[in-house]
């Protein structure tokens, strides 16, 4: 009986030891798979994030290029409008100066002549300062009323 008891005890100890080894192996396997799973999950997430970030960066670069081209186009249009404005201002200045010149020429023509030239041919009274009433009446023509 002692041998049977010893065999049972040895078998129990071996089973207990094997069960412990199995439990430790399973626990380590679980831990390893969890860590490995976490690493795989982390790698997948990093890849997704990297792809998303690259796509956003590319999109923003394209937007930047588009906006820069729009700015260049608007600057060119602005330069053209400035040139048009300068040309138009120059034309307006020339027209103004031509008008001023014409007015000045007319003024010069007027200054060359005297009032006598303008009133030539018109009967202009000459007042001698005597008997103004009589002179005024004679301008209007002969009348039957005499004073």
More confident site: 75 or 101: 75
Percent of the chain with pLDDT over 90: 33
What confidence tier does 147 reach under pLDDT thresholds 50, 70, 90?
very low
pLDDT, one tens digit per residue, over 25-61 is 888 888 888 877 788 888 888 999 999 999 999 999 9
Alpha carbons within 13 A on the beta-carbon side of 129: 0
Cα separation, 12 vs 2, whole angstroms: 15
Q: Pick the residue with more confidence: 68 or 29?
A: 68
pTM across the whole model: 0.42
Q: Is residue 34 part of a domain?
A: yes
Average pLDDT, the chain: 81
Residue 3 lies in a domain: no
Using one digit for the tens of pLDDT, what is the confidence trace for 128-145?
667 767 776 776 666 555
Instruction: State the total domains in the chain.
Output: 1
Q: Is residue 24 part of a domain?
A: yes
Residue 134 lies in a domain: no
Q: Is residue 144 part of a domain?
A: no
Residue 137 lies in a domain: no
Pick from 11, 126, 65: nearest CA to 136? 126
Q: Give the residue numbers spanning the domain of 39.
A: 10-121
């Amino acid at each position: 009986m002692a041998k049977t008891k010893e065999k049972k005890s040895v078998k129990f100890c071996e089973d207990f030891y094997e069960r412990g080894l199995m439990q430790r192996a399973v626990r380590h396997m679980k831990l390893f798979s969890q860590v490995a799973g976490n690493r795989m999950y982390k790698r997948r997430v990093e890849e997704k994030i990297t792809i998303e970030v690259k796509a956003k960066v590319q999109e923003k670069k394209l937007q930047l290029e588009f906006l820069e081209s729009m700015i260049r186009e608007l600057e060119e249009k602005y330069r053209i409008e400035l040139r048009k404005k300068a040309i138009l201002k120059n034309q307006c200045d020339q027209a103004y100066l031509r008008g001023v010149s014409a007015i000045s020429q007319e003024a010069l023509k007027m200054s060359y002549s005297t009032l006598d030239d303008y009133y030539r041919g018109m009967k202009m009274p000459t007042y001698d300062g005597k008997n103004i009433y009589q002179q005024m009446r004679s301008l209007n023509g002969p009348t039957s009323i005499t004073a």
